Amino acid sequence: MKIIILDARSSLPKYKQIILSVETAIAEKRLNRGDRLPSVNKVALEFSLSRDTVLQAYDELKKRGIIYSRLGKGYYIKSVEFSFEQRIFLLFDEFNTFKEDLYNSFMETMDSNAQIDIFFHYFSIEVFKKLVNENNGDYSKYIIMPTTLKGAASLIKALPKNDVYILDQANTDLHDYPSIHQNFVKDMYNGLLSAKARLLKYERLILIFPAFKQPPGMAEGFTNFCKDHAFDCEVIPDLEGRTIIKGDVFVIPNDRHLVSVIEQANGQGLEMGKDIGIISYNDTPLKKVVGNGITTISTDFRAMGRILAEMVLQQQKVQVENESRLIMRRSL
């Protein structure tokens, strides 16, 4: 059973990593009162450290009353009653209704078992870099939404690997990190497939897809579906300068564009669910009532928050695809 775990890529000083390893092992009951720690020489040789570095860590643990030494014998666990509170760094892209559901579910499941500090990068790589670099080494766990930010993966890899969880959007450069995420290609494709019988009465499918912020997998799943099932389709960045045509179905990831489509359709006297169709992405309570109900393709954000908390609490290192489904309402 390995007690000391060091990450060569972490900016956290090695002696602090040794201290954190011992505290974590005690908190997880892998070390008990009276257990012997690896010797100073063994740790120094295994990780190519100086004896002084290891001694600095063990001396700090002695001062805090966590370990004690026996001359000629080594170091032993003295107390397991110290306060070890997990400190979690939670980095979101932005805060909205469905992210609030995720956050609240995560907090409820954690049930005061950690101090959780939430930050936002607002899709800015400079803000992302600043937050990650400034907080490296200050937390026991790092939960991060990397979204589609270029350069985010290399910044994340500077954090202690065993303490990082990826949230919401998977990234091929981070495939070996534990994660709870959406499969946007599959979710979009399967959502449209579930709606196929309704879609057949329309003439064309239009995805309003501003590349900034939105996961590229959405557009891939959309175009794959249209190709496989012979639907006329188009991908556009916004509605500016366009007239809505009877027989169009709009697939809309961004709620601002959803408002624009509804307003313009009303202005043209077009009825949702009859003259045009609308499928929104990510369900919210408001979409249940707007226009007598907006059809959505949505993951379960409360489930995502609960599963994330369970992964952290149980030290699970897995990759989980959160379930998504089509919620049919009158807009289609």
* 63 shares its domain with 96: no
* 169 shares its domain with 305: yes
Tokens of 295: 């059809």
DSSP run (H or E) holding 221: helix 216-228
* 193 shares its domain with 292: yes
CATH number at residue 286: 3.40.50.2300
**Length of the chain counted residue by residue:** 332
- Using DSSP, state whether 64 is helix, strand or coil: coil
pLDDT tens track, the chain, 332 positions: 789 999 887 767 899 899 989 988 988 889 999 999 999 999 999 999 999 999 999 998 998 889 999 988 999 999 887 666 678 999 999 998 999 999 999 999 998 778 899 999 999 999 999 999 998 877 889 999 998 899 999 999 999 888 899 999 888 899 999 999 999 999 999 999 999 999 999 999 999 998 778 899 999 999 999 999 999 999 999 998 889 999 999 999 999 999 999 999 999 999 999 999 999 999 999 999 998 899 999 999 999 999 999 999 888 999 999 999 999 999 99
Which residue reads 């379960």 in tokens? Answer: 300
Any residues with CB less than 8 A from the CB of 212 and at least 6 apart, and which? Answer: 123
pTM of the predicted model, to two decimals? 0.77
Whether 4 maps to a domain, the answer reads no
Q: Number of folded domains in the chain?
A: 3
Whether 128 maps to a domain, the answer reads yes
Whether 332 maps to a domain, the answer reads no
- In single-letter form, the type of residue at position 284 comes to T
Rounded Cα distance, 50 and 54, in Å: 7
* 290 shares its domain with 222: yes
Largest CA-CA distance found in the chain, in angstroms, rounded: 89
* 175 shares its domain with 306: yes
